[in-house]
Amino acid sequence: MPTLFDPVQAGDLHLKNRIVMAPLTRNRSPNAIPRDITATYYAQRADAGLLITEATAISHQGQGYADVPGLYGTEQLDGWKKVTGAVHAKGGKIVTQLWHVGRVSHTELQPDGGAPVAPSAITAKTKTVLIKDGVPTFVETSHPRALKVTELPGIVHTYAAAARNAVETAGFDGVEIHGANGYLLDQFLKDGSNHRTDDYGGSIENRARLLLEVTRAVADAVGHGKVGIRLSPVTPANDVVDSAPQPLFEYVVKQLAQLGLAYIHIIEGATGGPREIPDRPFDYDALKQAYREAGGRAAWMVNNGYDLPMAEIAVKEGDDLIAFGKPFIANPDLVRRIREGAPWNEVDKATLYGGGEKGYTDYPTLD
């Protein structure tokens, strides 16, 4: 019977255990450049089988929050080189999460103060983060414009270029496509945010088109076995909803099954919230079964509110990887604490977003 501490193969990635550090936005990269403390932060947590970086913008247009990192400039890639070098020196594996926020942005964060882009010109009823007088401040998102169909090949190309930058220049072991949490690819998937009438709207096949085009392009750019993808079938994060998520996501995973990816990363329930949403029931076992029956062999990663007993049961029942989020913020030695049955530090919520070393690299370890 497998345990959390058994190694596992995820595509081209040989992972020393099944414990994954989930992507966690920390807003500590001014000018979208990872700093030296970013390298310290990830290296401290390199005992995980896999580290997934905070969501990282593929372009200036893809940025939706202040002081989040990017993959589109030389200084940004140089900053990430320090991170991957520090993690590899500790024997860790690290992938970066490719991010385009779509409509979840603000004109102050966009090139030339332009409107954010989206599948349809529908404002997200959510907030983003700007830095005001050095203080992270939540503000309403700006009204977006709908992307022209002629712009979509450029979006696909940008994802592939960012993936190439990540692997070939910055030294990442792979990439994760962010197709979840109400950001651009998820906005196209779900009919609450996608009201298009062209080939990228309407039917399930059309709404899934951009996500699948991006995934194929990224896989072709860096190798299929170096690519994971994150999906969130029913999360209400960032004001997204679909009228029929089960058939939508079963279609998506059946298509992904043909691509030979490293892993499929599923957020169960509401991101950072309840695992069961009464008005949005979803059968995650059926989702995985649909993927496997379609020939999918990628590692299956589950996420959202897992504690140790839940994680152990999930692995025994056939899930390959368990992603932990906030526990990794407060416990740089979380893997050791799990192994030894030691207590976990609590997260300091006041230091989650923005700032420096406090609440970032100064959490105590067992030593």
pLDDT by residue (tens digit) across 86-123? Answer: 999 999 999 999 999 999 999 999 999 999 999 999 99
pLDDT at 340: 96
Query: What count of other Cβ atoms lies within 10 Å of the Cβ of residue 73?
Result: 15
Q: 153-190 b/e with 16+ CB inside 10 Å = b? A: eebbebbbbbbbbbbeebbbbbbbbbbbbbbbbbbbbb
pLDDT at 324: 97
Is there a contact between 146 and 173 (Cβ–Cβ < 8 Å)? no
Q: Is residue 14 part of a domain?
A: yes
Query: pLDDT tier at 273 (50, 70, 90 boundaries)?
Result: confident
Q: How far apart are CA 99 and CA 126, in angstroms?
A: 18
Q: Is residue 291 part of a domain?
A: yes
CATH number at residue 318: 3.20.20.70
Q: Is residue 356 part of a domain?
A: no
Rounding to the nearest 10 degrees, give the CA dihedral for residues 112, 114, 117, 123: 150
Query: pLDDT tier at 32 (50, 70, 90 boundaries)?
Result: very high
Q: Is residue 174 part of a domain?
A: yes
* The pair of three-digit structure tokens given for residue 36, joined into one six-digit string: 């030296």
* The pair of three-digit structure tokens given for residue 318, joined into one six-digit string: 């056939």
* Confidence check: pLDDT of 192 > 80: yes
pLDDT at 287: 98
Query: pLDDT tier at 216 (50, 70, 90 boundaries)?
Result: very high
Q: How far apart are CA 180 and CA 52, in angstroms?
A: 14
Q: What is the pLDDT of residues 277-314, one digit of tens each?
A: 888 899 999 999 999 999 999 999 999 999 999 999 99
Q: Is residue 339 part of a domain?
A: yes
* The pair of three-digit structure tokens given for residue 254, joined into one six-digit string: 């059946």
Q: How far apart are CA 13 and CA 148, in angstroms?
A: 37
Amino acid identity, residue 285? Answer: D
Give the pTM: 0.97
pLDDT at 266: 98
Q: Is residue 361 part of a domain?
A: no
State mean pLDDT over 134-143.
91
State mean pLDDT over 335-361.
96
* Confidence check: pLDDT of 143 > 90: yes
Is there a contact between 200 and 206 (Cβ–Cβ < 8 Å)? yes
State mean pLDDT over 15-22.
98
Q: Which residues make Cβ contacts (< 8 Å) with residue 289, sequence separation at least 6?
A: none
pLDDT at 276: 86
Cα 229 to Cα 21, 268, 299, 309, 365, distances in angstroms: 15, 14, 11, 26, 31
Classified as helix, coil or strand, 125 is coil
Q: Can you spell out the DSSP letters for 214-259?
A: HHHHHHHHH-GGGEEEEE-SS--TTS---S-HHHHHHHHHHHHTTS
Q: Is residue 357 part of a domain?
A: no
Q: Is residue 3 part of a domain?
A: no
pLDDT at 136: 83
Q: How far apart are CA 77 and CA 69, in angstroms?
A: 10
Q: How far apart are CA 61 and CA 23, in angstroms?
A: 20
Is there a contact between 267 and 231 (Cβ–Cβ < 8 Å)? yes
Q: How far apart are CA 190 and CA 59, in angstroms?
A: 23
* Confidence check: pLDDT of 131 > 90: no
Catalytic residue IDs: 183
* The pair of three-digit structure tokens given for residue 7, joined into one six-digit string: 């190694």
* Confidence check: pLDDT of 272 > 90: no
What's the sign of the alpha-carbon dihedral 67, 262, 16, 174? negative
How many domains would you assign to the chain? 1
Query: pLDDT tier at 132 (50, 70, 90 boundaries)?
Result: confident
**Structural domain that includes position 96:** 8-351
Average pLDDT score, the chain: 97
